[in-house]
């Protein structure tokens, strides 16, 4: 007998994309409070973009039980929000004449190494509280690139899963047909 047509869903806190988006949000809040004027409209924009990245991953994961379409859409919204945030950090560096770390720089490699450690997120939060603006912005950029990479992979995986298993309607029909074979009584 079929175990049901609503697959396991939620579990977003285990997703690396969510974990990276969460640290991006935390760092962005600290960055904005340390390096931008409170009245600057960019503060709200950056914090909301970081929050949207994190929240849409969670919401999409939770919606996955009944709507693969919604999960894919919200994961794409998260990806778009983090892209917007990436541009804000790049703008911050560019207009102030501050250097952006190349992807292959030792600094960027260090951030990628730190984030893989068990205490990496706490370590990077400490960076945000104690380092110069250009360092914090570059750390955030490294994390956003990583989160975007993970979200791109996640979206491709969701697409493949939909093509293989279908959506809720297909699963409901399959479950109903399976139930009828198991118990043909009306």
Tens digits of residue pLDDT in 48-104: 999 999 999 999 999 877 778 889 999 999 999 999 999 999 999 999 999 999 999
How far is residue 88's CA from residue 148's CA, in Å, rounded to a whole number? Answer: 15
Please give the angle made by the CA atoms of 35, 30 and 27, to the nearest 5 degrees: 115
Confidence of residue 174 (pLDDT cuts 50, 70, 90): low
Instruction: Tell me the domain boundaries of the chain.
Output: 12-182
Q: If you ran DSSP here, which 8-state letter would residue 16 be given?
A: H
User: Using CA atoms, how far apart are residues 153 and 182, in angstroms rounded to an integer?
Assistant: 38
pTM of the model: 0.85
Q: In 96-132, where does DSSP find H-type helix?
A: 106-116, 120-130
- Kindly tell me the sign of the dihedral angle through the C-alpha atoms of 77, 83, 89, 91: negative
Gap between the Cα atoms of 7 and 140, Å rounded = 34
Give the tens place of pLDDT for each residue, 106-144. 999 999 999 998 888 888 999 899 999 999 999 999 999
CA angle 128, 145, 136 (to 5 degrees): 15
């Amino acid at each position: 007998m079929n175990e049901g047509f609503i697959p396991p869903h939620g579990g977003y806190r285990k997703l690396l994309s969510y974990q990276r988006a969460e640290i991006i949000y935390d760092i962005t809040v600290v960055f904005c409070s340390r390096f931008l004027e409170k009245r600057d409209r960019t503060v709200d924009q950056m914090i909301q973009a970081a929050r949207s990245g994190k929240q849409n991953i969670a919401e999409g994961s939770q919606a996955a039980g009944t709507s693969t379409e919604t999960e894919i859409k919200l994961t794409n919204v998260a990806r778009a929000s983090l892209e917007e945030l990436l541009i804000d950090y790049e703008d911050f560096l560019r207009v102030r004449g501050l250097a952006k770390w190349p992807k292959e720089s030792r600094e960027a490699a260090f951030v990628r190494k730190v984030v893989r450690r068990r205490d990496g997120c706490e370590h990077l939060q400490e960076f945000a509280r104690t380092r110069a603006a250009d360092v914090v912005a570059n750390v955030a950029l490294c994390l956003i690139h990583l989160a975007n990479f993970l979200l791109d992979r996640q979206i491709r995986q969701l697409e493949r899963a939909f093509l293989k298993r279908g959506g809720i309607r297909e699963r409901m029909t399959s479950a109903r047909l399976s139930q009828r074979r198991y118990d043909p009584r009306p």
